Structure 1
C-alpha cells in the first residue's frame, strides 16, 4: 500500500516538475514581455488601511496618495524574462527583480495604480491599464499592462503581468487631442472674426435704413463701410472654403497669364490701405488671378492688423519667377514658430499669430498649387512675407498653362 502511494506521489511530482519546466521555458523564452509579481504584502497593507466598501477604494487611494504609494512599494517582482528587460531597456533581467520604489509613482499614473490596487483588493483575477513609464536608459514610454492572478487560493501572491509598448498609440491620441483643441480654438477665433464685421454691417445697415435725414455724402460713406466689412466677411468665408477643399483634395486653380502688379494694386485699393509700394516693372506670371488676390489680401490684412505701424510692399523678378514682399516693422513671431504659422489652426499666442489660424496656411497651399511659394523671414527689424510665382514669359505661355491645368 505504501509502495503504491509512494509511486503515485513520485508520478505527481514528476508531472509537476515537467509542468514547471514547461512553464519556465514558456516564460523565459516568450517573445512577449512578462513579469511575475507578488502583491500579497500590498494587499495585506491595504486591508489594514481601508475597511470601506470595495468599490470605493480607488477614491480612497486617490484621496490619500501616500497610502497608494506605500502599497505599490510593497509589491515585488519575483521573475522577469528577456523580452521584459529589452522593453524596459534594463541592463539585465536581475536588475528588474525586487520591490517597486514607492517614490517613483508619478502623479500622472495615480489613477492607473489606484485601478490596479482596487482590482487586487476586490479579488479580481484580471486587470489592465496603461502606465507612463521611463526605461532604465531614461526614455519615456507608455506601457500597456495586462495581469492575471495565477493563484486565487493565495490572492495576489503570483500575478502574471504582460507588458507592451503602446507609446505610438498615446502619441497619436495626444496629436488628435491637440488637433481637436486647435480646431476648437480656431472655431472660437473664426466666430470672433466674423462677429466683428457682421456687427458693423448690421449696425450700419440699420442706420442706413432708419436715417431718413442722412445726406447723400453720409449715405455714400456708410455704404462704402458696409461694402468693406462685407468683403472682409467674404474673405474669411473664402479661406474656410479653400481649407475645406484642400483637406478633401478637391481644390484646383485656373492658371492663366496674370499681371501681378495690377492684382496687387486692386487688392490694396479694395482694402483701402495706405502702404508704401516700391515695385519695378514686374513680368507677367502664370497663376489664378482670384487666388493671387486672396493671398495678397491675407498678407496685407495680417500686416495691417498684427504687424508694425508701417507696411511696405516690394517686388522683383528672377529668371524663372516674379515675387512680391509684404513687409512691416512689427515684432514678428518666435523663431521656433516660423514654420508652424503656416500650419492649419496654428497660433503663437501673440502678435501676428492672433489672426485666424488658417489664412497663412491657405495662402501657402494656394501658392504651391500655382507652382509658387510663400515664405516668412526676418530682415533686420522687418517681418517679410514673400510670394513667388512662375513667370509666364519663360517658355511658351500655352505650354505652361497646360502644365498648370494638369497640376
Structure 2
C-alpha cells in the first residue's frame, strides 16, 4: 500500500514569519506613527492657514487695485482711460478690465486686449462681487481671483473687474508641502532612533534581570536578582522575582527534606522485611512461619499506610485536583470517630457536638477528623474530648486530650511532615510516620480553612487542643 505524505501546511510554514515583533519594535512603531500623524496634522493646519492668508491677501490686492480705478472713474469718468492707465503691474498676474453700461469692455489691461468680459457679474454702483475663475492670459491658463466693483461716474455706470492670479498661492502651498515632507522624513528617522534607543535603555534593567534569572540553576537557588533603585515598576518586578526565588528555594528545600524523610520512613519497613527474610533463609529454625508472616504482614501494612499517606499529601498539594464537594455534617463525623476511639481499652471519650454543616470532600474531611482523634488517642492518658461548633463564620472541630501537651515552640512545627512529638516514641503508636497532622493541615488548606494547635485552658483536658476551622457552607 502506497503511503501519501502531506506537505507542510502554509500556515505552519508562515508561523515563524508572522511572529509578533518585540516590545521595543512595537513601541518604536507606535511612537513613529504618532509623530507622523502629528506632523501631518500640523502640516495640514499650517498649509491651510497659509492658503487662507495668501488667498485673503490676493483678494485684498485685487480689491485695492480695483478701488484705485473706481475712484478715478468716479472723479473723472472712463472716457480718457487707456490700457496703460489701468495696467498695475505690467505682467499677466494682475490685470484690470473696465466694462461700460452695456457690459462691453471699455478699456482693458494690454494683456487682455481684444478679450471679451472676464465675468458675467454686473454689480450695481457701490457693490462688489468676488469670485474665482479659470482664465487664459497671454496663453497661460490659471485660476484667478476676480473682484468686480460697480461705480457711477461721469458718463454713466461702469464695472471695474480686477483679476489677480492664484498661481503664487498654489506655488507657495506646494513649496511648503515639499519642505514639510523633506523636513518630516529625517525627523521621523531621528524620532524612531531616539525612541528605539530610549526604550532599549529603559528595558535594560529587565534584560539584566533576565540574564540573572537565566544564570540561576536548580542547584543554586541562593542567587538573587539585582534590585534597581527607586520605587518604579522595575523595582517592584525585581522584588517580586526575588520573592518568587525565595519561595522556590524554600519549596525545593522542603521537597528535599520530604524526599529524604520519606526515603528514611520507607526504608525502615523494607529493612525489617528484608532482615526477616534473610534470617529465615540462613537460619530456618530461628524464625517460625507464623512469626515471619506476622512480621511481614505488620511491616507491609505499615508500608501501605505510609504510601497511602504520601499519596493523600500529594493530592492535597495538587491545586489542579478538584474533587467533588457535597454537604457534610461535621457533628456526624465527630460522633463516628468518637465511637471508633471508644474501642480503645481504658480510654474515655467525651463528645460535645453541635449541628454544623460545611461543603467539602467527604473522604478527606473524615480523614482529617480521624487523624485528630487518633493523634489525641495516642497521647492521652485516660480521656479525650471531641467538640464541634461555630465561631466567627467558621465551623470548628476541636479535639482535646489530657496528655503531656505540645510545647509552645512546637505548635506550628507539629503540622510539618515527618515531625513527631517526643512522647509518641513511647506510646507504641508505630506507623504514623509523623504525617497525620500534616495531612490535616493540607486538607484544611484545600477547603479554605486552617488547622492549629492551641494552649489548653481546661483543667480536665490539660494536654493538647487541636482545632480544625472550615468555612461554613462554602466551597474551598
Give the TM-score normalised by the residue count of structure 2.
0.37
The answer to which structure, 1 or 2, has the higher relative contact order (CA under 8 A, 6+ apart) is 1
Give the TM-score normalised by the residue count of structure 1.
0.42
